[in-house]
A and B are shown apart, each in its own frame.
Chain A
Amino acid sequence: MPGSSRTSMIDGFTSVQMVRRAAKRNRNGAPVPRDDAEATPAAEPFAGKIGAKVTQTALPDRYDIVCYECGYAFVLTGHLRRTICPKCRAQLEAGATVAAKEYSGAARTIGTVHVKPAGVLKDAVVTARILIVEGDATGGTLRCQQLQIGKGGRLALDRTTFRDLLIAGTAEFKPDAPVKCRALEVKGTIDADILAERVIVRAGGLASGNLRAERLVVDDGGGLKATVCAGKKTETEPNGEKPRNERHDDKTRTGQGPRSHHQGNPGQHPGAARGGRDRTRPGPLRGSGSHRPDQEEHGPATAAV
């Protein structure tokens, strides 16, 4: 039937409404008046509107920041910028540092440090969130959360502390020491004893040696020539850093107060257990734990720094 006298144009929604009203009639057979028309289903408010359904809003970027003064871990959302540590109130620089030639000294940032192919670290102490090594970094003491090794990158594992490791596409990494980390992603070639929580071998990558991981993923086209032990609960001992889940479990598993936490982990920062803001201990440390700004916040002191 054509649209009512109140509508001058028939569109899709109007026609659907007319059909519904025609289908639903009262006991007398008269059409249901417009005022008593059924409301549009609340379950699908965007029915019929292409592209109007919103499934997820855009979320800002999240950065896992570790203060290079006190070792406190927190999350920074949005733009990576200069910020202040919530714990020790130290100002943290977020600039990127590039070492294209010989570099010595200290470089501390919550951003990225890039050692170019011609770059050489000589007696340098580098603390960064992401460290990209394409040159000679054997003379430097490196601390980072994510270590990326590019083509031609060389470093000394015993002087390097990292949480995650990424082997770039054209890189060949053959260290003398075992590689212990939380996550390992192989796009190039690695030949080492690997102990990690998660190992991902991408297409074109090749992992050789001995591999022990809780989770192993090999993409189609990835190579694996190793003695593998994957899937069991392996003891993960990353280079000086405790995995984030273990840090959290230290606090929540026992369910006890901070005193027992300090007794169980001497020297560990209370904020390390949660990986976020410490709500239980606003005051200074007590017990056996001591505040060492240069100490890794995730575990006992290591010889890396």
Chain B
Amino acid sequence: MNMKSDTKTIIAEDVEITGAIKCASDIQIDGKLNGDMTCGNNVVVGATANIKGSLMVESISVLGAVNGNITAKDRIELKTTAKVNGDIKAKRLTVEDGVTFIGKSEVNPTGSAPAARAPESPATALPYQPPTVEEKKPGGMFGRK
């Protein structure tokens, strides 16, 4: 992913946007947004922000009010002044004391797939042993014809 960490968009507190926002770089919202937002990088929802819509981001830190679902590929941070009314879904979640959150949460960091085992080196691998074949006893299974 092209991480444009040097570019950051800031939406000031007095700005009100009606519509969808799509961006690939970091964005900080301190104003009002009536619509959905898709961001491929980090999002900061400021303390004065008020968002009504869904958010699909890489990672997000919420300090303001969000009325909508939040889906993050990496992590979601709900700070003390955050007010979230909607469902959240992410790999990792951090909720500070004082957060107002109403909705469903689907965060399970321990439910991720375990790391693949490293292949054994030839020196440590056990020698191959062919499977043994039991010789049939005369007389069948019960020892008699």
Q: Which residues of A approach B to under 8 Å, CB–CB?
A: 204, 206, 215-232
B100:A231 contact, CB within 8 angstroms? yes
Does B98 touch A at the CB level, under 8 Å? yes
| A204 to B93 CA separation, bound complex (whole angstroms) | 12
Contacts of A204 in B (CB 8 A): 110
| Nearest 9 CB-CB pairings of A with B | A231-B100, A218-B95, A223-B108, A224-B105, A230-B101, A220-B94, A224-B107, A217-B97, A227-B104
Known: A218-B94, A231-B83. A223 touches B111 (CB 8 A): yes
Contacts of A232 in B (CB 8 A): 100, 102
> Which partner residue on chain A sits nearest B93 by CB separation?
A218
Does B8 touch A at the CB level, under 8 Å? no
Partner of B102, one of A215, A219, A221, A228: A228
A217:B100 contact, CB within 8 angstroms? no
B95:A217 contact, CB within 8 angstroms? yes
Does B109 touch A at the CB level, under 8 Å? yes
| A248 to B94 CA separation, bound complex (whole angstroms) | 33
| A73 to B54 CA separation, bound complex (whole angstroms) | 49
B109:A225 contact, CB within 8 angstroms? no
| A223 to B92 CA separation, bound complex (whole angstroms) | 8
B107:A225 contact, CB within 8 angstroms? yes
The smallest beta-carbon distance between A53 and chain B, in angstroms, is 30
Contacts of A230 in B (CB 8 A): 95, 99-102
* B interface majority secondary structure: strand
Known: A228-B103, A231-B83. A215 touches B97 (CB 8 A): yes
Q: Which residues of B approach A to under 8 Å, CB–CB?
A: 83, 92-111
| A231 to B110 CA separation, bound complex (whole angstroms) | 26
A224:B100 contact, CB within 8 angstroms? no
Contacts of B93 in A (CB 8 A): 218, 222-224
15 A-B pairs with CB atoms under 8 Å apart are: A216-B95, A216-B97, A216-B99, A216-B101, A217-B97, A218-B94, A220-B94, A223-B108, A224-B95, A225-B105, A225-B106, A225-B107, A228-B105, A230-B101, A231-B99
* A interface majority secondary structure: strand
| A204 to B106 CA separation, bound complex (whole angstroms) | 15
B97:A206 contact, CB within 8 angstroms? no
The smallest beta-carbon distance between A179 and chain B, in angstroms, is 17
A228:B101 contact, CB within 8 angstroms? yes
A229:B102 contact, CB within 8 angstroms? yes
> Which partner residue on chain B sits nearest A229 by CB separation?
B102
B108:A206 contact, CB within 8 angstroms? yes
Q: A223-B109, A228-B104 are in contact. List 15 more A-B contacts (CB 8 A).
A: A216-B95, A216-B97, A216-B101, A218-B93, A219-B94, A220-B92, A220-B94, A221-B109, A223-B110, A224-B107, A227-B105, A228-B101, A229-B102, A231-B99, A231-B102
> Which partner residue on chain A sits nearest B82 by CB separation?
A231
| A206 to B110 CA separation, bound complex (whole angstroms) | 8
| A217 to B95 CA separation, bound complex (whole angstroms) | 5
| A57 to B2 CA separation, bound complex (whole angstroms) | 54
The smallest beta-carbon distance between A134 and chain B, in angstroms, is 22
| A216 to B103 CA separation, bound complex (whole angstroms) | 13
| A232 to B100 CA separation, bound complex (whole angstroms) | 7
Contacts of B104 in A (CB 8 A): 226-228
B101:A231 contact, CB within 8 angstroms? yes
Contacts of B92 in A (CB 8 A): 220-221
| A127 to B96 CA separation, bound complex (whole angstroms) | 34
The smallest beta-carbon distance between B46 and chain A, in angstroms, is 19
| A67 to B35 CA separation, bound complex (whole angstroms) | 58
> Which partner residue on chain B sits nearest A213 by CB separation?
B101
Known: A206-B110, A220-B92, A221-B92. A226 touches B97 (CB 8 A): no
Residue from A225, A228, A229 having most chain B Cβ neighbours under 10 A: A228
| A223 to B104 CA separation, bound complex (whole angstroms) | 12
